[in-house]
């Protein structure tokens, strides 16, 4: 079991890369061609239409940042908030596993929450952060 414990930082890295790739893919459609439709959709949910800029930036640029390991905990918090709003406003009415249900967004919230709590793992650009993102230098461990 101890050998599996050594893999924990790499599990965080994998979660960070997968979550970032998914969020980039969702934001890409909005940044490169579908923003107007997204803005109208956000407005139709009873949310101010200008919030579409925030969700698009969170998905696309936040996805890039989290893949690079920049501001991992902050970006993960933004993902948690965005996906919680998506679940409440869009997916909840479809049930857990129904078509358009909240099963997948809930999985994304869970990954983002774990990254928010534990950091992004190794091989990121969070200068001065340890593997777990605790803020302690590697020498103090």
Residues contacting 33, CB < 8 A, separation 6+: none
Question: What is the value of pTM for the model shown?
Answer: 0.85
Strands (E), the chain: none
Average pLDDT of 97-107?
95
> pLDDT tens, 31-78?
998 899 999 999 999 999 999 999 999 999 999 999 999 999 999 999
pLDDT at 129: 53
Average pLDDT of 74-103?
96
* 132-141 contact pairs (CB < 8 A, 24+): 132/9, 132/12, 133/72, 133/73
pLDDT band at 6 (very low <50, low <70, confident <90, very high): confident
pLDDT band at 2 (very low <50, low <70, confident <90, very high): confident
């Amino acid at each position: 079991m101890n050998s599996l414990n050594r893999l924990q930082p790499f599990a965080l890295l994998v979660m960070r890369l997968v979550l970032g790739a998914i969020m980039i893919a969702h934001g890409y459609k909005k940044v490169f061609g579908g923003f107007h439709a997204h803005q109208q959709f956000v407005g139709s949910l009873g949310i101010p239409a200008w919030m579409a800029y925030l969700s698009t930036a969170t998905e696309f640029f936040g996805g890039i940042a989290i893949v690079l390991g920049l501001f991992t905990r902050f970006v993960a918090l933004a993902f948690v908030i965005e996906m919680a709003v998506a679940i409440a406003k869009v997916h909840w009415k479809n049930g857990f596993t129904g078509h358009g249900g909240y099963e997948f967004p809930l999985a994304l919230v869970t990954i983002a929450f774990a990254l928010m709590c534990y950091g992004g793992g190794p091989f990121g650009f969070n200068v001065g952060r340890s593997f777990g993102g605790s803020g302690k230098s590697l020498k103090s461990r």
